[in-house]
Amino acid sequence: MTATIIDGKAFAQTVRDGVARDVATLATTHGIKPGLAVVIVGHDPASQVYVRNKVRQTAEAGMNGFHFELPEDTPEAELIAKVNALNADPAVNGILVQLPLPKHIDESAVVGAIAPEKDVDGLHVVNAGLLASSGGGMVPCTPLGCILMLKDTLGNLTGKKALVIGRSILVGKPVAQLLLAENCTVTIAHSRTQDLASEVAAADIVVAAVGIPEMVKGGWIKPGATVIDVGINRVPAPERGEGKTRLVGDVEFATAEARADAITPVPGGVGPMTIACLLKNTVTATCKQNNIDL
Ligand code: NDP
Catalytic residue among 57, 82, 118, 121: 121
In angstroms, the CA 162 to CA 209 distance is 13
- 98 classed as catalytic: yes
**Stated length of the chain:** 294
pLDDT recorded at residue 44: 87
Cis peptide before 267 (omega within 30 of 0): yes
Catalytic residue among 22, 57, 82, 98: 98
Level-2 CATH architecture, domain 30-115: 3-Layer(aba) Sandwich (3.40)
**pLDDT-based confidence at residue 216 (cuts at 50, 70, 90):** very high
For the chain, what are the domain ranges? 30-115, 141-271
- Residue of 92, 107, 91 lying closest to 41 (CA atoms): 107
Q: Which letter does DSSP use for residue 180 in this model?
A: H
In angstroms, the CA 143 to CA 162 distance is 14
- Residue of 214, 163, 225 lying closest to 189 (CA atoms): 163
Percent of the chain with pLDDT over 90: 94
**pLDDT-based confidence at residue 70 (cuts at 50, 70, 90):** very high
- 48 classed as catalytic: no
Cα dihedral 114, 115, 121, 122 sign: positive
pTM greater than 0.75 (yes/no):
yes
Residue 51 has pLDDT above 90, yes or no: no
Atom in ligand 1 nearest the alpha carbon of residue 271 = 41
Residue 1 has pLDDT above 80, yes or no: no
pLDDT recorded at residue 48: 86
In angstroms, the CA 98 to CA 51 distance is 8
Pocket of ligand 1 (CB under 6 A): 142, 165-168, 170-172, 189-193, 196, 209-212, 230-233, 270-271, 274
Class of domain 141-271: alpha beta
pLDDT recorded at residue 179: 98
Residue nearest atom 31 in ligand 1 by C-alpha distance: 211
The pLDDT of 169-196, averaged and rounded, is 98
In angstroms, the CA 123 to CA 128 distance is 6
* Same fold across 30-115 and 141-271: yes
Percent of the chain with pLDDT over 70: 100
> Which of 49, 171, 233 best tests ligand 1's pocket when mutated (most atoms within 8 Å of CB)?
171
Residue nearest atom 14 in ligand 1 by C-alpha distance: 191
The pLDDT of 40-52, averaged and rounded, is 89
The pLDDT of 36-44, averaged and rounded, is 95
In angstroms, the CA 294 to CA 287 distance is 7
The pLDDT of 222-242, averaged and rounded, is 97
The pLDDT of 146-173, averaged and rounded, is 98
**pLDDT-based confidence at residue 46 (cuts at 50, 70, 90):** confident
pLDDT recorded at residue 18: 98
CB 252 within 8 A of CB 263: no
- 54 classed as catalytic: yes
pLDDT recorded at residue 45: 86
Distance 267 CA to ligand 1 centre (A): 16
